[in-house]
Structure 1
Amino acid sequence: MTRPTARLSRRFVPSVLVLTLAGCSGLFGGGEPSHLYRLTPKSTYPPNLPHRSVQLLINEPLAPAGLDKSRIALSRSPVSIDYFADSEWTDRTPLLVQTALLQSFENSKAITAIDRESAGLRADFMLETEIRHFEAVYDSANGPPEIWVAIIVRLVNPTSREVVSQTSFERREHASANDVPTIISAFDEALGGVMKQIVVWTVTNPALSVKRS
């Protein structure tokens, strides 16, 4: 089944959103990317994290149109979005997050089997996510930004498509300097914190203690 990414994406983009892709200098604006960045999965978890004998599929996250690309997003007002010049993620943001989340679950060793939704695994549950924020937020002209990561999470029965449980997680992380490598490190911290919360929430969810027949 084809996922209605475009229609779902437009729903979450305000009608007054302004895409300013050109006419900027320095860190911001267009241009061909010369640096590629990736983010790291989480590998440390509480020692009492339970093990669940279930098979879990992680769907590709939904995302607004302005985030559903490999450009690294920034915002300088509540109604605008721009991108860092000469720098990109190694993949589209939803795939970047999906890969990091999958590896984070694998590192937890708390789930019997886990894979992407395209792998054909007969899953007991699916984890559907929706990226609401994944940008560097500037509130001053020269200061470093605050990274804002916010993700909605749904645990879904793959047979009935019933949402078993739903929640959301977000984290804001201040970059210590206004340069791209430091900003990427803040993205890594922010996403890492959210992914750890997602893994712990999923594994400790009461629904996973009853395996689907």
Structure 2
Amino acid sequence: MTVRSPALALGATLLAAALGGCGGSAPLTFDLAALPASGHTAASARSIVVSEPVGIQPFEADRIIVREPGGALSFLGGGQWADRLPRLVQTRLIQSLENSGRLRSVSRPGDKIVADYQLISEIRAFDIAAGSGEAVVDLSAKLIAEGSGRVAAARVFQARVPVQKVDAGSAAVALDAALAQVLAEMVRWVNSGR
């Protein structure tokens, strides 16, 4: 099914939910991994609040997305993420930053922890590019100084990983590998103080 607007996306999601209740098998659920602990213990005095990434409507769901050569987006059948994609990416980014051992604290906006910086991001792509046979992850990020609201640093992080075939399992593995590359770059960038 092709998604071209938020109204169509909502209709497509409702239709899929309705059809899912008609005796179809439940899709496999896939998770994304955080970076492993680094063993680093010399934490800086900096603390970061990580906001949930924003993105266009199809990325707000828990579905795996395929981008056709003409730009149309469709949901890949047979698989879904373990949570809404933005919340899942936020959680794995927080865990990856914590696992680096380089920051005093890493939290979510609702944790009521005073932080030096807020990390805001946008999911620009998190899909399988059907034309090139690649998993594409593209996130833009900004570090905002909490006291002044000044943008201290901004960067775009991208990764492309070949996908063996366009099915739920292969897509999830390739997207997880692409996200791991992006997370590694983001953690280095945040920890560098930029």
TM-score bucket (shorter structure): 0.7 to 0.9
Q: What does 1:46-125 align with in structure 2 at a 5 Å threshold?
A: 51-125=43-117
- Aligned with 1:155: secondary structure? strand
How far residue 90 of structure 1 moved from its aligned partner, in angstroms, is 1.2
Residue equivalent to 1:10: none
Is 1:38 matched with 2:35? Answer: no
- TM-score if structure 2 supplies the norm length? 0.83
Aligned AA (1:36) = T
Higher helix proportion = 2
Aligned Cα RMSD in Å? Answer: 2.8
**Consecutive unaligned residues in structure 1, runs of 5 or more:** 1-12, 23-28, 207-213
1-structure distance, mates of 2:42, 2:168: 38
Assess if the C-alpha contact under 8 Å between 1:170 and 1:194 holds in 2.
yes
Assess if the C-alpha contact under 8 Å between 2:40 and 2:100 holds in 1.
no
- Aligned with 2:161: secondary structure? strand
Q: Which moved more, 1:174-183 or 1:63-72?
A: 174-183
2-structure distance, mates of 1:71, 1:179: 13
How far residue 108 of structure 1 moved from its aligned partner, in angstroms, is 0.6
Per-residue displacement from partner, 1:72-93 (whole Å, max 9, x unpaired)? 1111134310001132111111
Match of 1:192 among 171, 180, 189: 180
How far residue 44 of structure 1 moved from its aligned partner, in angstroms, is 6.3
> Aligned in 2, Cα 1:49/1:189: closer, same or farther, shift over 3 Å?
farther
Assess if the C-alpha contact under 8 Å between 1:59 and 1:128 holds in 2.
yes
Per-residue displacement from partner, 1:102-156 (whole Å, max 9, x unpaired)? 111111111111111111110111111111000111017xxxx311100001000
**Consecutive unaligned residues in structure 2, runs of 5 or more:** 21-25
The aligned length equals 182
Aligned AA (1:95) = R
How far residue 178 of structure 1 moved from its aligned partner, in angstroms, is 3.4
**Percent identity among equivalent residues?**
25
How far residue 176 of structure 1 moved from its aligned partner, in angstroms, is 2.2
- Aligned with 1:77: secondary structure? coil
